[in-house]
């Protein structure tokens, strides 16, 4: 708890959104209407009903993109979603294999397949809670004299219905999930080496040899940049089969694609940047064929405006999103959510003062006493935000952390 508090304090002082959910919720001001809109129209209705959507959260640096995405992620958790969060600085956006692998890792394959196994157990009129810890369905049935040929046949039929005969799943992904879920149910039982082999294939492990995977009756084609999107679609479908509402994926710091210099994070050359833009373009084109997926890309506005390295340099992508950029009013249904415009339309001095007060109170409670800026300072910040290079939330943070005289 102390470490989490110290990390949250360090983030606030540095002007970043804290990881700690309690602190994040405590300082949140102004985004409630937007979060409510996205929850009502997407998280609780469109996505769990089988839809998929891409949202681009854009704005000036410090406009609250990461903060908003984390609040939305917290709401998604409450609504029964699996959530994935990563930065374009740490996951190569030019290779969708890496995106898929990160999603698989954060979603937790074991958690998903355990959920699928639970649904199959319920389908056989058995309460999953009746099984002892570590006990399989076949063990449970055998104890009651019901572990006969018919029970095994029922399990195989359920696995086929869930996975291998499901037209919405990639064939190889379905075969892997069927084998691993059957192992959880106790039929058919996998050898430990085969279990590890299947997991290795799902994770795109290059050490998995074609001959090994062929011996399990699967096509020896591993995870490639061409099939990774279909595997991600299958992952979301399987998560829904396991009882989850869907999968929400937040990609932060997308402006890192313009980074071609040595430093922290991935270095994107011109070729890698164009590959990343093409990957996003393909995702946009295929999003309507996916289900139970919500993508949220967070990016500085410069990525759209920069004529040398931004999205405009890749016409195939720009043509798909440019119509979204020209609107003059904030529209929650649009693919691009401009937080700068949202602030202009929705925020007033009273709201900004409340933001400053909550931040000062939170820092004081953490042992870093701060005072609330004056009304004159808040008024000046709002005027400066209209013409400045930084977002209003960041400017308020610096005014509270460094005092009213801070040069923000």
Ordered per-residue pLDDT tens for the chain, 408 residues:
456 567 888 888 888 888 888 888 888 888 889 999 999 999 999 999 999 999 999 999 999 999 999 999 999 999 999 999 999 999 999 999 999 999 999 999 999 999 999 999 999 999 999 999 989 999 999 998 887 888 899 999 999 999 999 999 999 999 999 999 999 999 999 999 999 999 999 998 888 887 777 887 777 677 888 899 999 999 999 999 999 999 999 999 999 999 876 667 899 999 999 999 999 999 999 999 999 999 999 999 999 999 999 999 999 999 888 765 555 678 899 999 999 989 888 899 999 999 999 999 999 999 999 999 999 999 999 888 877 778 989 999 999 998 854 444
Q: Say what the pLDDT of residue 145 is.
A: 87
pLDDT of res. 2: 57
Packing angle, helices 375-385 and 392-402, rounded to 10: 140
SS (H, E, C) 24-87: HHHHCCCCHHHHHHHHHHHHHHHCCCCCEEEEEEEECCCCCHHHHHHHHHHHHHHCCEEEEEEE
CB under 8 Å to 201, separation ≥6 — which residues?
172, 176, 208, 213, 218, 222, 223
Closest CA to 42 of 81, 70, 85, 86: 81
- Provide the whole-model pTM: 0.92
Specify which residues 251 forms β-bridges with: 86, 297
391 φ/ψ angles, rounded to the nearest 5 degrees? -75, 155
Q: What is the pLDDT of residue 344?
A: 87
Q: What pLDDT sits at residue 147? A: 76
- Report how far residue 355's alpha carbon sits from residue 360's, in angstroms, rounded to the nearest whole number: 9
Domain boundaries, the chain: 1-17+347-408, 31-87+249-337, 109-214
Q: Specify the CATH architecture of the domain 31-87+249-337.
A: 3-Layer(aba) Sandwich (3.40)
Q: Compute the distance between CA of residue 314 and CA of residue 306 in angstroms, rounded to an integer.
A: 11
């Amino acid at each position: 708890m102390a470490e989490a508090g110290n990390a949250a304090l360090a983030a606030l002082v540095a002007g970043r959104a804290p990881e700690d959910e309690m602190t994040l919720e405590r300082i949140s001001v102004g985004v409630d209407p937007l979060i409510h809109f996205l929850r009502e129209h997407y998280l609780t209705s469109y996505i769990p009903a089988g839809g998929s959507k891409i949202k681009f959260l854009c704005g000036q640096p410090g406009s609250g993109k990461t903060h908003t995405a984390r609040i939305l992620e917290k709401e998604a958790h409450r609504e029964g979603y699996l959530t994935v969060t990563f930065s374009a600085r740490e996951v190569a956006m030019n290779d969708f294999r890496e995106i898929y692998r990160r999603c698989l890792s954060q979603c937790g394959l074991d958690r998903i397949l355990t959920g699928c196994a639970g649904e199959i157990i319920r389908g056989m009129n058995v309460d999953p809670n009746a099984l002892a810890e570590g006990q399989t369905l076949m063990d449970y049935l055998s104890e009651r004299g019901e572990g006969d040929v018919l029970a095994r046949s029922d399990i195989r039929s359920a696995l086929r219905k869930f996975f291998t005969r499901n037209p919405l799943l990639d064939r190889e992904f379905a075969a892997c999930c069927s084998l691993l879920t059957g192992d959880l149910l106790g039929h058919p039982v996998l050898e430990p080496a085969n279990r590890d082999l299947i997991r290795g294939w799902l994770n795109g492990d290059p050490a998995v040899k074609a001959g090994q995977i062929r011996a399990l009756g699967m096509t020896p084609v591993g995870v490639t940049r061409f099939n990774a999107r279909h595997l991600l679609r299958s992952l979301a479908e399987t998560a829904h089969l396991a009882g989850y509402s869907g999968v929400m994926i937040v990609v932060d710091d997308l402006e890192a694609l313009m980074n071609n210099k040595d430093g922290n994070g991935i270095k994107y050359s011109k070729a890698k940047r164009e590959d990343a833009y093409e990957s996003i373009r393909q995702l946009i084109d295929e999003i309507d064929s996916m289900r139970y997926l919500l993508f949220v890309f967070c990016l500085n506005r410069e990525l759209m405006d920069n004529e040398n390295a931004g999205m405009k340099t890749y016409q195939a992508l720009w043509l798909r999103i440019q119509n979204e950029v020209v609107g003059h009013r904030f529209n929650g249904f649009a693919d691009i959510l401009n937080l700068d415009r949202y602030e202009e339309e929705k925020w007033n001095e009273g709201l900004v003062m409340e933001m400053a007060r909550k931040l000062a109170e939170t820092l004081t409670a953490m042992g870093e006493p701060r005072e609330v800026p004056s009304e004159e300072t808040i008024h000046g910040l709002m005027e400066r935000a209209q013409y400045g290079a930084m977002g209003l939330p960041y400017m308020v943070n610096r005014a509270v952390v460094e005092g009213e005289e801070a040069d923000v």
